[in-house]
Amino acid sequence: MRYTSFTPYDAVLLAQGLGTSLAVFLATSAIGLVLGVAWAVVRFYRVPILSQGLTFLAEILKNSPVLVQLFLVFFGLPAFLKINVTPVEAAIITLSANTAAFVFVIAVAGVEAVGRDQIEAARVFGLTRWQVLRRVVAPQAVAFAIGPLVALLVNQLQVTSLISVIGITDLTKVGNILNLRTLKPFVVWTVVGLLYYVAAKLVAHLGVRLERRLRAHNAWRGL
C-alpha cells in the first residue's frame, strides 16, 4: 500500500464530512425534539397505557449504548422484519429516538418544575388543560429546560461520530480515510477534533444566547 501526503482536496473531504455530520445532527435533533416534547405532552395528559409505554421506552433508550441501538436498527431490523434499512435511515431512526428519550426526560422535569399552585390557579380562572399547558406551563418549562437541552444537543453532535461504523462518510469516517492514507494520526485526528470542537462551541453559543433571551423575557419586572 502506498502512503501519500496531504493534498488540497483533503480540505474538501473534511468539509463534506463535516457537512454530513451536521446534516444528520440537525435532522435527528429536530425529529428528536418534536418526538420528545410530544411524549412529554402525552405524559402531562396522563393518557392510560400510552403514557407508561413511552416512559418505559425512554428508559430503555437513555440507559443503553447508542452504538448497540445503531447496530440493532441497522443489522437487527432487516433480519427480524425482512426489510431493507439504509445506513442513513438507520442513523436517523437511532439518533432521533435516542434524542427524543432525553428530551422527554428534560421536558418532564421542566413541566414538574412549574409550581402546582400556578396550575391550580389557572384552572380556577377557567382555563382548559390545553390553555394551562400552552400559556402557563410551556413558557416556564422551556426557560427551565433550555440549559439541559443545549448540553444534550452538544452531546448528540458528538454522538454522530458513531454513524461512521455503518458506512456513512461523516467527519469521523473522512478522518479515518485520511489517517489510513497518510499514516499521520496526530495531525488528522487533531484537525477532526478541532472541527467537532468548533461545531459544538457554535451550538453551545447559540443555546446560551437563546437561554438568555428566554430568561430575560420571563424575568419578573415588578408591578
Beta-carbon contacts of residue 108 (< 8 Å; ≥ 6 apart): 40, 43
Instruction: For cell 431512526, name the residue.
Output: 93
What count of Cα atoms within 13 Å lies in the side-chain half-sphere of residue 47?
11
**Does 85 fall in a domain?**
yes
Domain contains 163: yes
**Residue 131 maps to a domain:** yes
Q: Is 160 part of any domain?
A: yes
pLDDT of residue 7: 85
Q: How many percent of the chain have pLDDT more than 70?
A: 88
Q: Where are the alpha helices (DSSP H) in the chain?
A: 9-44, 50-62, 66-71, 77-81, 87-113, 116-124, 129-131, 138-159, 171-182, 185-218
Render pLDDT for 76-117 as a digit per residue (tens, 0 to 9).
999 888 889 999 999 999 999 999 999 999 988 877 777 666
Note the pTM of the prediction, 2 decimals. 0.85
Residue-wise pLDDT for 39-74, tens only, equals 988 887 777 888 888 889 999 999 999 999 999 999
pLDDT: which is higher, 21 or 111: 21
Q: Is 69 exposed, middle or buried (0-12, 13-18, 19+ CB in 10 A)?
A: buried
- Number of structural domains (the chain) is 1
CATH number of the domain bearing residue 126: 1.10.3720.10
Whether 171 maps to a domain, the answer reads yes
Handedness of CA 123, 127, 130, 134 (dihedral sign): negative
Whole-angstrom distance, CA of residue 66 vs CA of residue 45: 29
Q: Which domain holds residue 119?
A: 9-218
> 4 in a domain, yes or no?
no
